[in-house]
Chain A
Amino acid sequence: MNLNRKRYLSFAVHRDGPPVTGKQLSTAIWKSLLSLYGEATVSDTRLYLNEFDENSGLGYLQCNLYRLKHVIAAAALIESIDETKVSFEPKKTSGTIKALHRMKSQFLLLL
């Protein structure tokens, strides 16, 4: 069994306040993970923020398949980033980033 399998997650960050940068969001998720699950879990997550649009709040992240649930739970429990109140909404998970891009383009066509 390959323990390093990746999963990509598309998400939306709803906010009440000034926009948050990708760096701020990434740090907030890491901190929440560390607080909730501890260092051992954090070391396995391989969390990386691939893309994040500050204005729309849409983005993709990648992490270890077996830690995806932990990452989502930790991100969902983030209440605020600096002075901005946020709500993290996981949207779709996929094994490849290409599939997520395809879903995003279909979503944009619907708008």
Chain B
Amino acid sequence: MAAANDNPKEAPPKEDADKDSKLILIAEDDPFISRMYQIKLEGAGLRVIVKNNGRDAFEAIRSEHPSLALLDINMPELSGLEVLAALQSDGFDFASMPVIVLTNSSELSDRNKAHSYGAEYLVKAELTPREVLNMIAAKLGMEQSTP
């Protein structure tokens, strides 16, 4: 599909990187992939916490209040969808935090479940880290503008 762009058209907000920068949670059990996104997002001035299992990711969301969460589905302890379910039963307000479910399994049922929590559902292999970053930026930009 879209070829990797040499020149990013949309640059993520790089100013106020440390004090006011957004916190992104990456829940991903494959260290190569989590590291890849981490590099790309931090390069764009975002703060990142990485959790390699669902339970830790759930705890982190409750304690750290990240601005956005990237959730893998197939993870130890709790799957990404189970994390969402646990959050919902915990009374979590999904409107306060956009969720992007990033997975390589493309089961339609998984996608429908993700959508039911208001989460975006994307296939990792079809996106480059930059495209993921662009999507996060778009989400956060919209979130910022609305309240």
Indicate, yes or no, whether A interacts with B. Answer: no
